[in-house]
A and B are shown apart, each in its own frame.
Chain A
Amino acid sequence: MKFILSVFRFFHHRLFVMDDRLILILAGIAAGMSSGLAAVALRLSLEWSLTWLEAYRHLWWAVILPGAGACLSSIYLEKGVRECAGHGVPEVIYAVSRYGGLLRFRSTYSRLLSSFLTIGSGGSAGPEAPVVMSGSAIGSNIGKWLKLNDRQRVTLVGCGAAGAIAAIFNAPLAGLVFSVEVILGEWKIVRIIPIAIAAVAGAEVSLAIVPEQVLFHHQPFDVGLRDVMACLCFGAVTALVSIAFMRVLRLSGTVAKQVPLPFWAKAFLGGCAVGVMALGLPVIMGEGYHHIQAMISGHFSLGLSLTCLALGLKMLATAMTLGWGGSGGVFAPCLVLGSLTGVVFHSGMTALLPESGFAGQGAYALIGMTGLISGVMQAPLTGIFLILEITNGYETILPLIAVSAVSSTISHYVEPASFYFRELIEKGQFLRPGTDARILADLNLSEVVRTDYEPVDENMVLRDFIAVIKTSSQDYFPVISKGSGAYRGMIRLSAVRAYALNPMMHDMVLVSQIMDTGMATVSWENDLGDVIELMDLHRADALPVVEDGRFGGMILKTRILDLYRRELIMQTSVH
């Protein structure tokens, strides 16, 4: 028995403790498969719900269906699971960058049900972000159960997100790239391997449950050089659509905040507005995968003017759904808008240049999706890899790169923050590894503060103070009141020189007469960013920490630099 135990301990130590790759791969597979299951469950239930409700869409009261769904969804989120509205991706990025990927257990399921209610009833939103949230939370909680450290837990969050995207689109590479490009923001070998395996696991689970179902089918495209040239212009068009979409989303949210109604009433109104808009144009409802499929295969029946109208209304419907309290993400709406833009662009081009022989409408619908993903999420690689995997080949690679590059560049120029990052950037919480803000956020003030500074009494004469200096290595001496212990000021060693060289002064001058009472102070509640700002403002090399009038320690610029360098090396190391 002892022998078996010692063999087990040996292998356990070798495989799991000394090298965490195996445990990360195994846990990553579990996270990928679980998020794949969640993705398939949501996708199938949405299909069922939308098909079931289709029979009632012609009835007059069907306009309130999306309203009822959004209303129920908001009540469930707010009162049932006590979560905040929104798609959740910024929350995942925030947890990854600030708290080592710690996500609540309730997030593993909360957004799935709420987005099912919103989208399943006809609301215009995508299931991808809720599934990413759910998958990430599954990964995070697996990490918690296995008592993994922050770095390992963050990897599992990435695994969950990758598994979710991979399962929805049957696109493991897109899942991997989305996870690294959007969620983690860093390419490290040690992370990429488990995430790639998790993405494959997610996709395989999806295929195992629904083997015959590939989300988007397409015919081979004949893409030529003229299409590449046209795509430079198409990229600009998708960028404009992306910018308009982001602005409409933001405006809708701002307007909704100003409406003095309860949250559920706002969600109801937003949903009903979608119901009304969808009366003549069902393409704007739900996640829109079927309509995307119609556009890719060239069977989209709307004319140019109606397609343009659908493009505008889809933006508005998504804004009314998400901005007014419904639940879901913008990934699928981006795909629908991209396809619609592709159809409009293709129709316009063929009308202008009928003999030029451009590739089919389906090719532009697919390329348009990349344009919108690159523009709205500013995630060009995700867009490129998603379409590459959907088309199962490289025939569209050049136009994809052209559209993606132009769209993300123009969007970034006009709207520097992507849809996912904007909220975090506005709050100063966009902390990517290796950035100044992240390093400062990761350093704890208590690590920086030196508490071993010996204070001196305010009534000490200069002679006694000089005796203290002789045996001390301090450059700064906090002055305190002997009776109350209150902080009075600071003496800088350089400021004493003039008095110290004049022996006449030694018994005449008190410490309280030569101390600096105007030196800026910081409190324990300040973060390191505030401290550095204050140091720059006052051109100070050191600042005292004073709380409730009491001296708590000194912060030295040299100490900050040491720790900053250590943290920077850790965050930017290859592994």
Chain B
Amino acid sequence: MNYVLLHIFRNTPFGRETFLQSLYFCKCIQARPVVYIPESDKFLFYFDKDTVQVDLDRSYLTSAETAKQNAEQLFEEMGISPSFYTPKNYTASTLPDISTRFDYLCCPRSVSDVSSKIGLGHIGARVRRIIQHARFPVLITSPVFKPWKRIAVLFGGSENAVNALNLGLKLSMASGVDMTIFTLKEKEEAHYRKIVKKRLPEGLGEQAEKDWLFFDRPAFEEMLYAIPHDALVVMGAYGHGPIKDVLFGSKLEKIQSTIGNPLLVIGPESRVELRP
């Protein structure tokens, strides 16, 4: 229960689905959800090397008077004691600084777009900047709450993919659900197995390798289809800039717009310790 997830609460039916996913995630991995009910339509995250202003749409301020009560009710339904976050510092009178000392953050697919547009659309630029700079993984929820029963890790052999694998293992151990690795082959299988053997502690590497599916290169969509519908997808993101995204496309965008599963994305600044 030492891990804490920050959830930005939206007092709408869509926000309820998002919040239920946060609560379920916390319940599974025994983390503590902390809810921030926005008091204005913007706030700031000060990361180590950048500051990100999150501009919320007006739906985050819907019925402010019932927001706390509704959040408490959902806490109660999940059997978790309510915990709320109150900003201590303000950059300007209506611009609170939200702490970045959390272990997880829950984001809808875009924090700055109206609910109707979200669906499986683009991940907002802000969410991508958060992922790029945050020391914590970001839970990008699916449009509708559905309990996940397994963990799917997308592993491509990079430094960030190793981080994602560590995170998947950690969550698998904490929640007791099975983990499957999905790899789109760009090199021989042995190359990926070697990375896992080298980078993961003894014993855990074997555990991770137990359930590993490889797909040949052009079959990216096939691989995404093979991901179980009730899986939490864990993946690493480079957070490269908009020019590279335009030229080469963004894997994260592609994945999130193709599958409806909740995603747990770990950025380049995030490091995962493998402690149970």
Contacts and interface: CB of A to CB of B under 8 A. Distances in A.
A84 B93 contact: yes
A94 B83 CA distance: 28
Interface string B40-54: 011010100111010
Interface string B176-196: 000000000000000000000
A84 B49 contact: no
Contacts of B51: 95, 99, 102-104
B90 A86 contact: no
B100 to A, nearest CB: 10
A82 B90 contact: no
B55 A99 contact: no
Nearest to B32: A548
A218 interface: no
Contact of A98 (B2, B81, B89, B95): B89
Contacts of B42: 82
Interface in B89-127: 89-95, 101
Which residue, of B2, B49, B81, has the highest number of chain A Cβ atoms within 10 A? B49
B91 A550 contact: no
A567 interface: no
B53 A106 contact: yes
Given A82-B55, A104-B51, A95 B81 contact: no
Interface residues of B, number: 24
A144 B53 contact: no
A94 B2 CA distance: 31
A102 B94 contact: no
Contacts of B32: 547-548
Nearest to B40: A84
A106 B95 CA distance: 14
A470 interface: no
Given A82-B42, A552-B2, A91 B50 contact: no
Nearest to B50: A144
B50 A95 contact: no
A102 B53 CA distance: 12
Contacts of B93: 84
Contacts of B41: 82
A102 B32 CA distance: 29
B53 A82 contact: yes
A147 interface: yes
Nearest to A549: B81
B49 A147 contact: yes
B91 A95 contact: yes
A427 interface: yes
A446 B95 CA distance: 26
A95 to B, nearest CB: 7
B50 A84 contact: no
A193 B40 CA distance: 41
Contacts of A548: 1, 32, 81, 83
B210 interface: no
A84 B2 contact: no
Contacts of A552: 2
Given A548-B81, A552-B2, A84 B88 contact: no
A550 B1 contact: yes
Contacts of A103: 51
Interface in A101-136: 102-104, 106
A527 interface: yes
Interface string A413-448: 000000000000001010000000000000010100
A449 to B, nearest CB: 12
Nearest to B90: A427
Nearest to B56: A82
Nearest to A98: B89
Given A84-B93, A548-B1, A144 B49 contact: yes
Contact of B46 (A99, A429, A524, A547): A99
Which residue, of A103, A144, A527, A548, has the highest number of chain B Cβ atoms within 10 A? A548
Given A98-B89, A527-B88, A84 B94 contact: yes
B210 to A, nearest CB: 31
B227 to A, nearest CB: 34
A1 to B, nearest CB: 26
Contact of A84 (B46, B81, B92): B92
A99 B98 CA distance: 13
Contacts of A98: 46, 89
Given A548-B1, A548-B32, A548-B81, A86 B53 contact: no
Contacts of A524: 4
Contacts of A106: 53
Contacts of B55: 82
Nearest to A140: B51
Interface in B63-94: 81, 83, 88-94
B158 to A, nearest CB: 20
B92 A86 contact: yes
B92 A91 contact: yes
Which residue, of A104, A429, A527, has the highest number of chain B Cβ atoms within 10 A? A104
A248 to B, nearest CB: 20
B241 to A, nearest CB: 11
B90 A102 contact: no
A115 to B, nearest CB: 16
B91 A94 contact: yes
A94 B4 CA distance: 27
B199 to A, nearest CB: 25
A12 B50 CA distance: 25
A483 to B, nearest CB: 15
Contacts of A527: 88
B34 to A, nearest CB: 9
Nearest to B92: A84
Contact of A102 (B2, B50, B83, B95): B50
Contacts of B88: 527
Nearest to B83: A548
Contacts of A95: 51, 91
Given A102-B50, A102-B51, A552-B2, A429 B89 contact: yes
A427 B49 CA distance: 25
A144 B58 CA distance: 31
A103 B94 CA distance: 16
Contacts of A94: 91
A202 to B, nearest CB: 24
Contacts of A550: 1
Nearest to B47: A102
Which residue, of B2, B46, B51, B93, has the highest number of chain A Cβ atoms within 10 A? B51
Leading 10 A-B pairs by shortest Cβ distance = A84-B92, A102-B51, A99-B46, A82-B55, A84-B95, A82-B42, A84-B94, A104-B53, A104-B51, A102-B46
Interface of A: 82-84, 86, 91, 94-95, 98-99, 102-104, 106, 144, 147, 427, 429, 444, 446, 524, 527, 547-548, 550, 552
9 contacts: A84-B95, A99-B51, A104-B44, A147-B49, A429-B89, A429-B90, A446-B101, A547-B32, A548-B81
Given A102-B51, A104-B51, A429-B89, 18 more contacts: A82-B41, A82-B55, A83-B92, A86-B92, A91-B91, A95-B51, A95-B91, A98-B46, A102-B50, A103-B51, A106-B53, A427-B90, A429-B90, A446-B101, A548-B1, A548-B32, A548-B81, A550-B1
